[in-house]
Amino acid sequence: MVRGGLKILIGALVLVLASVLLTGCASAGPKNASAVPAPGGILVSWTAPDSSAVMGYNVYRSMQSGVMGQKANPVILSNTSYMDSNVRDGTTYYYTIRSVNSGGSEDGSGQVNAVAKINPPTNEEISIGNGGEYTNTTAETLYLSAIGASKCRYSNDGATWTDWTPYASTYPWTLPDKDGPKDVYYQCKDDVGNTAQPVSASIYLDMTPPVLSISSPAQGGQYGGGFDIVFTPTDPSPLTLNCSGDLDGTQIAIGIVDSNKEDTTSVIAKSGQHTLTIQCSDGINIARKSVMFSVVDKPAVELSIESGAGYTDIQKVMLDVAATPAATECRFSNDQKAWNDWSAYSASMRYSWTLSGGDGTKTVYAQCRNTGGQVSDTASDTIVLDSSPPPYISVEINNGDKWTDTKSVLLGLYAFSAKLCRFSNDGYSWTGWEQYSNLRQWTLAGDYGTKTVYYECQDKNGGEIGTASASIIYSDREPNPPTNVKVSINGGDSTTHSADVTLSLRASNADDCRLKENSGSWTDWNSYGTSMDWTLSTGNGKKTVYYQCRNDYGTTGASSSIYLDMGPPAKITDLWANPSVDAVYLHWSRPSNDIRYYHIYRSTSGFGLFTLLSTSYSPSYSDQEVVAGMTYSYSVKAVDSNGDEGPDSNIVTATAGLLTGSS
Indicate if the pLDDT at residue 431 is higher than 60. Answer: yes
Say how far apart CA 81 and CA 173 lie, in whole Å.
41
How many other CB atoms are found less than 10 A from the CB of residue 482?
25
Instruction: Give the pLDDT confidence score for residue 207 in this predicted structure.
Output: 86
Q: Are 537 and 607 in contact (CB under 8 A)?
A: no
Q: What angle do CA 268, 274, 280 make, to 5 degrees?
A: 80
List, in sequence order, every residue forming a beta bridge with 652; answer none if it has no partner. Answer: 634
Indicate if the pLDDT at residue 134 is higher than 70. Answer: yes
Q: What angle do CA 122, 125, 130 make, to 5 degrees?
A: 165
pLDDT tier at 50 (50, 70, 90 boundaries)? confident
Instruction: Give the pLDDT confidence score for residue 104 in this predicted structure.
Output: 85
pTM, two decimal places: 0.53
Q: Are 367 and 327 in contact (CB under 8 A)?
A: no
Instruction: Give the pLDDT confidence score for residue 26 in this predicted structure.
Output: 43
- Mapping DSSP to helix (H, G, I), strand (E, B) and coil, where does residue 306 land? helix
Q: Which of 125, 145, 146, 129 is closest to 137 using CA atoms?
A: 129
Instruction: Give the pLDDT confidence score for residue 406 in this predicted structure.
Output: 94
Instruction: Give the pLDDT confidence score for residue 16 in this predicted structure.
Output: 36
Burial 449-470 (b: 16+ CB within 10 A, else e): eebbbbbbbbbeeeeebbbbbb
Q: What angle do CA 289, 292, 298 make, to 5 degrees?
A: 135
Q: Which of 198, 196, 204 is closest to 175 using CA atoms?
A: 204
pLDDT greater at residue 628 or residue 138: 138
Instruction: Give the pLDDT confidence score for residue 123 in this predicted structure.
Output: 86
User: Which phi and psi (to 5°) does residue 491 adopt?
Assistant: 70, 20
Say how far apart CA 80 and CA 69 lie, in whole Å.
20
Indicate if the pLDDT at residue 410 is higher than 50. Answer: yes
Say how far apart CA 556 and CA 480 lie, in whole Å.
10
Indicate if the pLDDT at residue 2 is higher than 50. Answer: no
Instruction: Give the pLDDT confidence score for residue 237 in this predicted structure.
Output: 67
Give per-residue pLDDT as tens, 518-536.
778 899 999 988 999 999 9
How many other CB atoms are found less than 10 A from the CB of residue 61?
23
Q: Which of 124, 69, 644, 507 is closest to 515 using CA atoms?
A: 507
Weakest mean pLDDT among 111-115, 435-439, 607-611: 607-611
- Mapping DSSP to helix (H, G, I), strand (E, B) and coil, where does residue 93 land? strand
Instruction: Give the pLDDT confidence score for residue 439 in this predicted structure.
Output: 92
User: Can you tell me the mean pLDDT for 139-147?
Assistant: 94
Instruction: Give the pLDDT confidence score for residue 389 in this predicted structure.
Output: 63
Indicate if the pLDDT at residue 425 is higher than 90. Answer: yes
Instruction: Give the pLDDT confidence score for residue 294 in this predicted structure.
Output: 86
User: Can you tell me the mean pLDDT for 333-351?
Assistant: 90
End-to-end Cα spacing for the chain: 82
pLDDT tier at 660 (50, 70, 90 boundaries)? very low
Q: Are 241 and 315 in contact (CB under 8 A)?
A: no
Instruction: Give the pLDDT confidence score for residue 6 in this predicted structure.
Output: 42
pLDDT tier at 546 (50, 70, 90 boundaries)? very high
Domain annotation for the chain: domains and CATH numbers: 26-115 (2.60.40.10), 122-205 (2.60.40.10), 211-295 (2.60.40.10), 300-385 (2.60.40.10), 393-474 (2.60.40.10), 483-564 (2.60.40.10), 576-655 (2.60.40.10)
Indicate if the pLDDT at residue 290 is higher than 90. Answer: yes
Indicate if the pLDDT at residue 25 is higher than 70. Answer: no
DSSP 24: H
pLDDT tier at 606 (50, 70, 90 boundaries)? low
pLDDT tier at 454 (50, 70, 90 boundaries)? very high
Say how far apart CA 102 and CA 79 lie, in whole Å.
16
**Number of Cα atoms under 13 Å in the Cβ half of residue 459:** 11
Instruction: Give the pLDDT confidence score for residue 11 in this predicted structure.
Output: 42
Q: Are 216 and 228 in contact (CB under 8 A)?
A: yes
pLDDT greater at residue 173 or residue 282: 173
What is the gyration radius of the CA atoms in the chain, in angstroms? 50
pLDDT tier at 191 (50, 70, 90 boundaries)? very high
User: Can you tell me the mean pLDDT for 309-313?
Assistant: 78
Indicate if the pLDDT at residue 4 is higher than 60. Answer: no
List, in sequence order, every residue forming a beta bridge with 411; answer none if it has no partner. Answer: 397, 440
Q: What does pLDDT average to over the chain? A: 86
Omega of the bond leading into 391 within 30 degrees of 0 (cis) = yes
Q: What angle do CA 392, 303, 451 make, to 5 degrees?
A: 55
Q: Which of 265, 285, 289 is closest to 275 using CA atoms?
A: 289
DSSP track, 444-486: --SSSEEEEEEEEEE-TTS-EEEEEEEEEEE-SS-SS--EEEE
Say how far apart CA 646 and CA 580 lie, in whole Å.
28
Q: Which of 48, 98, 90 is closest to 71 using CA atoms?
A: 98
How many other CB atoms are found less than 10 A from the CB of residue 523?
14
Say how far apart CA 615 and CA 598 lie, in whole Å.
6
Query: What residues have CB less than 8 Å from 210, skipping those under 6 apart?
Result: 233, 234, 235, 241, 259, 280, 281, 282, 285, 286, 287
Indicate if the pLDDT at residue 17 is higher than 70. Answer: no
Output the CA torsion 529→531→536→540 (10° steps).
150
Instruction: Give the pLDDT confidence score for residue 21 in this predicted structure.
Output: 38
Indicate if the pLDDT at residue 422 is higher than 90. Answer: yes
Size of the chain, expressed as the number of residues it contains: 663
Instruction: Give the pLDDT confidence score for residue 59 in this predicted structure.
Output: 95
Indicate if the pLDDT at residue 144 is higher than 80. Answer: yes
pLDDT tier at 504 (50, 70, 90 boundaries)? very high
Indicate if the pLDDT at residue 239 is higher than 80. Answer: no
List, in sequence order, every residue forming a beta bridge with 290; answer none if it has no partner. Answer: 277
